[in-house]
């Protein structure tokens, strides 16, 4: 496969991942009031871990080499624990549309993490396009009246930082193990740690939750945490972490649309204009050059 073909396939898979992730915050917002932040934030990883374990067992996959364990732990900390738990806790009192605009910071954070963890060097054009996209998201947030900073805002920003590190490390490790293996092993290896925390938070109120809440939980478990990540991690490995991460500039706007359609949350009149502006920035950054540097010996060693 040529480099151009790899990039196209990676961007397509990344776009599918973003589409899957764009429903995560609305689905979480539906589930959290009845199931609780811990059950939704960590319980979804346990469900995904069961699915991952079945897949690994069917394919008779061997345990990763010990030199990969620390990197898998870093991915688990960011993507399996950090982002799901922190965002679920934030959405106890925050509209999904509010959280969506803050998550717009994720592409820029991931691009920075990719410089350090994935050994990528984006071009000046890439950074300019990314900065323009970030400015568009922030301007959109201000226009939507996101409000003064709250504790929930801080939780979402911490979730963004955790996700950025997890994405960058997963994209780099996917080149060695394959995206689906990275995802599955990160889920399975974290399950024993998560199980006690989830079990302690399951009570009669959780068991009596409505079908609507369980549907939201099923989505974030099966799609956001598992199926969507297959496409996303593969896209990161094929087209590069920095480039594919910029597709997430579209995610807040998609989430706003879902929030309005499914939750009835108000969306301002500037949504369409902001969407077109961000789309232009995404296209510009996707077409710009990103150089991948070879990993130093220190990173290759067991």
Nearest Cα residue to 108 out of 142, 132, 86:
132
Token pair belonging to 286: 């996707």
Domain boundaries, the chain: 3-198+211-293
| pLDDT, position 295 | 47
> CA 110 to CA 106: how far, in whole Å?
6
| pLDDT, position 118 | 53
Task: For the chain, list residues with pLDDT below 50.
Answer: 293, 295-302
| pLDDT, position 243 | 76
Nearest Cα residue to 264 out of 147, 96, 99:
96
| pLDDT, position 301 | 33
Strand partners, 122: 290
Give the three-state DSSP class for 73.
Answer: helix
| pLDDT, position 239 | 81
- The pLDDT tens digits of the residues spanning 181-209 come to 988 999 999 999 999 999 999 888 888 89
User: What is this structure's pTM?
Assistant: 0.75
Cβ neighbour number for residue 41 with a 10 Å cutoff:
30
């Amino acid at each position: 496969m040529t480099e151009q073909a790899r990039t196209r396939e990676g961007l397509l898979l990344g776009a599918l991942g973003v589409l899957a992730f764009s429903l995560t915050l609305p689905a979480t917002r539906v589930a959290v009031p009845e199931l609780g932040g811990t059950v939704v934030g960590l319980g979804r990883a346990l469900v995904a871990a069961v699915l991952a374990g079945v897949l690994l067992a069917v394919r008779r996959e061997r345990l990763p080499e010990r030199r990969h364990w620390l990197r898998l732990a870093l991915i688990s900390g960011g993507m399996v624990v950090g982002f799901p738990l922190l965002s679920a806790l934030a959405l106890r009192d925050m509209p999904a549309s509010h959280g969506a605009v803050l998550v717009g910071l994720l592409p820029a954070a991931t691009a920075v993490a990719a410089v350090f963890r994935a050994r990528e060097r984006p071009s000046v054009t890439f950074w300019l396009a990314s900065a323009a996209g970030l400015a568009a998201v922030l301007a959109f947030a201000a226009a939507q009246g996101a409000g003064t900073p709250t504790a929930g805002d801080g939780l979402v920003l911490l979730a963004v930082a955790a996700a950025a590190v997890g994405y960058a490390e997963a994209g780099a490790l996917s080149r060695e193990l394959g995206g689906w293996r990275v995802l599955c092993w990160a889920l399975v290896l974290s399950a024993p740690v998560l199980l006690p925390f989830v079990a302690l938070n399951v009570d009669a109120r959780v068991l009596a939750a409505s079908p609507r809440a369980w549907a939201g939980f099923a989505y974030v478990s099966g799609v956001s945490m598992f199926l969507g990540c297959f496409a996303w991690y593969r896209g990161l490995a094929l087209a590069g972490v920095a480039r594919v991460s910029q597709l997430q500039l579209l995610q807040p706007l998609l989430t706003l649309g879902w929030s309005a359609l499914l939750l009835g949350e108000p969306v301002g009149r500037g949504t369409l204009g902001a969407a077109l502006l961000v789309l232009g920035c995404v296209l510009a950054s996707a077409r710009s050059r990103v150089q991948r540097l070879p990993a130093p010996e220190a990173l290759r060693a067991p």
